[in-house]
Amino acid sequence: MAKKKVSADAPACEITCLHEDVLKRVGHGLTDPEVLRWVAALFKVMGDPSRLKIVNALILSEMCVCDLAALLKMTPSAVSHQLQILRQSDLVKWRRDGKIIYYSLDDEHVSNIFYQGLVHVNEKHHP
C-alpha cells in the first residue's frame, strides 16, 4: 500500500452508471470500516508464507524458536521477527521455561481460519 487519499472527501469521480438502489441497500450492510481494517490485518499476517508455516507448525504442537527454525529451515532471527508479528496480532501466546520460550496458538479461531483456507485451496486446485 502506498498513497491512500483521494483528492477530497467527495466521490472518487463522476460516475454515471450507479445503481442507486443497490448502493443504498449494500451501504447499510457493510462491516464497520475499523473492524474491517482489523480483519484485513489478521489476513495480512496469515498471508505471508513464513508466518503461515509457523502457524501450521504451532497448530500441531507448541514449539520453541529453535525447533521452528530447524523445522522450517529458517534462521532463529527470522523466526523471532515473525513471531513478534504474530504476538502483536495476538495469534500466538508463549510461556517461558528457563532459557527456552515455548510458543503456541492463542485460540482456535486461527486454526479454523487456516483450515477454511486449506479447504478452499483444495477444492480450487483439485479436479
Partner DNA sequence: TGAACATCTGAACAACTGTTCATATATTAG
Partner DNA sequence: CTAATATATGAACAGTTGTTCAGATGTTCA
Q: Which of residues 4-33 bind DNA (CB under 7 A)?
A: 4-7, 15-17
Residue 111 touching DNA (CB under 7 A) = no
Residue 88 touching a copy of itself (CB under 8 A) = no
Say how many C-beta atoms besides its own lie within 10 A of residue 2's C-beta.
3
Residue 83 touching DNA (CB under 7 A) = yes
Number of amino acids touching a copy of itself (CB under 8 A):
73
Binding-site string for a copy of itself from residue 1 to residue 20, where x marks contact by CB under 8 A and - marks none: x----x--x-xxx-xxxxx-
Q: Which of residues 50-69 bind DNA (CB under 7 A)?
A: 50-51, 64-66
Q: How far is CA 59 from CA 3, 33, 47, 111, 112, in A?
A: 37, 30, 16, 7, 10
Q: Cell 445503481 identifies what position?
A: 19
DSSP for 52-80 reads: HHHHHHHHH--EEHHHHHHHHT--HHHHH
Q: Are residues 38 and 72 in contact, defined by beta-carbon separation less than 8 angstroms? A: no
Single out the residue of 86, 93, 100, 103 in contact with a copy of itself (rule: CB under 8 A): 100
The pairing of strands 63-64 and 100-105 is antiparallel
Picked from a copy of itself, DNA, none, the partner binding residue 94 (CB below 5 to 8 A depending on kind) is DNA
Residue 25 touching a copy of itself (CB under 8 A) = yes
